[in-house]
Structures are given as C-alpha cells and as structure tokens.
Amino acid sequence: MARLSRRKVVAALGGAPLLADGKFTATAAADPVLLLCAHYGELAHRQERLLRQWGDREAWLGDNRDWFSLSKAEQRALPEAQLLYAIDEEYDRCVRAGVRIIRRLRGVSAFTVDGAAAKLSVVAEIIDPEDYPGAHRVLLSAIEDLRVMGRKG
C-alpha cells in the first residue's frame, strides 16, 4: 500500500463532511476532531506550498546569484535571499502550529467515524512508513475500513 502523502491527507480531510454551502454541517459541529484535522490538513498544504516556493527561490538564487558557492554570511546578506529566510520562518511557524494540533488531538475524542478516520489520517501522515512499514499498512487499512463504514452509516 502506498504512503499517504500530504496531498492525500488534505484530499481525505476534504472528503469529510465539513462544509456544505459555506456552512458547517451537524457532523462537523458534533465532532471537533474534524475541525482540528481540517486545520492540520490546511497547515500541511501550506507547508507543501512553502517547500515548493523555497525550492524555486533557491534554484533562482543558484542560477542567478551563485548561491551555492557563497558562505553562510554572504548568503544571509544577499537581499534576494531574504524571501528564502522568510519562507523558512513561515514554514517553522506552520510546523509548530501542527505540533500544537497534534497535542490537542491527543485529548479530543472523535465522535464520528469520519472524525476517527481523519484523526488516524493525521497519524499516518506523521509516521514514516519506512520506519514501520507493516504497522503503517495496517494503519492505512484501518483508515480505509473506517471510511467504508462511514459511507455505509
């Protein structure tokens, strides 16, 4: 079974019945886990965009400012590099916010099948499947089982 990417987590969380015509549904109101997981998914999506921006900026600096041959001090002083450092700071803020959500999720119970699946999806995103391949596959399977149950219920 393939690793659950951030993109898949965001898509899966988007599949949870959070919004309907811009209004929160009864399911989302009844399960605060869905809101926390959706926020985590938004942060993961933001981190992905920031990483792409960072890579694009670093490539530009390498092509146009000889970035990789500069010392750390020279890199830091380069005006065109300030965006790179701003991206780093924003990325770090997103990571810290994600950690806070994970801590909150430990103490918030899921009240719906969708909430339980979303909570486990966040865990699956965090666990590196190369460290625990068998356990990660079981986790992904359990998430899919919950989603199937949720569609039947």
- What is the pTM assigned to this prediction? 0.74
Residue 8, pLDDT score: 44
Determine, yes or no, domain membership for 106: yes
Residue 25, pLDDT score: 52
pLDDT beyond 60 at 24: no
Determine, yes or no, domain membership for 24: yes
Total tally of structural domains belonging to the chain? 1
d(CA 53, CA 4): 22
Q: What is the DSSP letter of 129?
A: T
Domain that holds residue 136: 6-53+84-152
Residue 1, pLDDT score: 36
Determine, yes or no, domain membership for 132: yes
Determine the average pLDDT of the residues in 40-57: 96
Determine, yes or no, domain membership for 74: no
pLDDT confidence bin for 153, thresholds 50/70/90: low
Mean pLDDT, the chain, as a whole number?
84
d(CA 72, CA 88): 15
Q: Considering only CA atoms, which of 67, 87, 83 is closest in space to residue 75?
A: 67
Q: Considering only CA atoms, which of 127, 114, 119, 88 is closest in space to residue 101?
A: 119
Determine the average pLDDT of the residues in 72-100: 96
Determine, yes or no, domain membership for 78: no
Determine, yes or no, domain membership for 108: yes
Residue 40, pLDDT score: 95
Quick: pLDDT tens for 88-121.
Answer: 999 999 999 999 999 999 999 999 999 999 999 9
Determine, yes or no, domain membership for 62: no
pLDDT confidence bin for 152, thresholds 50/70/90: confident
Of residues 42 and 6, the one with the higher pLDDT is 42
E strands, the chain, in order: 19-20, 23-24
| Dihedral sign (CA 7, 12, 15, 18) | negative
Determine, yes or no, domain membership for 18: yes
pLDDT beyond 50 at 81: yes
